[in-house]
Amino acid sequence: MWAHKAWQGRLLAHPLPTQERLRHYAGWCDAVEGNTTFYATPTRDTVATWVQQTGTDFRFVAKLPKVVTHERRLSEVTEPMRVFLDAIAPLGPRAHALWVQLPGSFGPDDVPTLARFLRRLPATYRAAVEVRHPAFFTETRATRLLETVLGEADAEWVSFDTTAFFAAPPTSDAERDAWTKKPRMPLRTHALTDRPIVRYLGRDDADRTVEGWQHWVDITVDWLREGRSPTMFVHTPDNVDAPVLARRFHDEVRARVPDLAPLPEPIPLEPTTLF
């Protein structure tokens, strides 16, 4: 997302060389979803440039390649996982979690496969699993089965909240496009580990986005007071103001948890001058 065109020249300086874009994004937010790794595994050299542009406390939640999760469905994935883990190795402590986003067809009968996969992950990585099969949300047995497997692996269940988005019909082209692509998932707010991860999808209207995340402010405050370290990703269908909204969410939480560290100051769009 740090190359998102809508931010260039408005939130991030433009033009910027490729090796500087993440540095400027990191002035707005201290975490990023590695969604592009789903489509292609980056080179180790590319990942090394990400390290150079971020501090050690920056969080990457890197999505596993689709060949692992969707094409081979976590079976016979030794080689693609070896290539992927070798590529992201330079991240070191910045690799906050490996994001295992599973297809909607991956259901309760597939949980043993997930369990075997999680057992084989190197202990240096923690997994965050996102499921989309409705049974995991509506059938108690399936919920408990998945929670047990995740708990044994110290893996988190990623909460993907689309309830605010689907609360009313779409009103823009971006919303209409997302309406056909995003899953209508039941709301889940339970954390399994000390590092919960939330993906929140609001609306293009900022006020409606803010209104829809109020329960997450309460939950995040509780998590912090419990000693957990949550990561919250804020999206809208067009993502035009996503960094601004993310900082607003952080501000709302920090107003209630003053000890929470502030976010970094954005890098100015233009160099500072004396005149």
Q: Give the tens place of pLDDT for each residue, 210-236.
A: 999 999 999 999 999 999 999 999 999
Residue 121 · residue 152 · CB < 8 Å = no
Instruction: Kindly state the average pLDDT of the residues 49-62.
Output: 97
Residue 117: predicted pLDDT? 98
Residue 159 · residue 218 · CB < 8 Å = no
Distance CA 136, CA 183 (A): 14
Q: Give the tens place of pLDDT for each residue, 185-213.
A: 899 999 999 999 999 999 999 999 999 99
Q: Which two tokens stand for residue 254?
A: 């920090």
Residue 191 · residue 223 · CB < 8 Å = yes
Residue 275: predicted pLDDT? 52
Tell me the pLDDT band of 1, cut-offs 50, 70 and 90. confident
Torsion angle of alpha carbons 217, 97, 89, 86, nearest 10°? Answer: -140
**Residues in a beta bridge with 61:** 33, 97
Q: What single-letter amino acid sits at 256?
A: R
pLDDT, averaged across the chain: 96
Residue closest to 6 by CA, chosen among 221, 174, 150, 214: 174
Residue 270: predicted pLDDT? 75
For the chain, what percent of residues have pLDDT higher than 90?
Answer: 96
- What's the predicted TM-score (pTM) here? 0.95
For residues 119-132, one letter each, b for 16 or more C-beta atoms within 10 angstroms of the residue's C-beta and e for the rest, the string is: eebeeeebbbbbbb
**Residues in a beta bridge with 97:** 61
The continuous run of DSSP H or E covering 34 comes out as strand 31-34
**Residues in a beta bridge with 199:** 160, 233
**Residues in a beta bridge with 30:** none
Q: Give the tens place of pLDDT for each residue, 139-190.
A: 999 999 999 999 999 999 999 999 999 999 999 999 999 999 999 989 999 9
Distance CA 241, CA 208 (A): 13
Helix axes 214-225, 242-256, angle to 10 degrees: 50
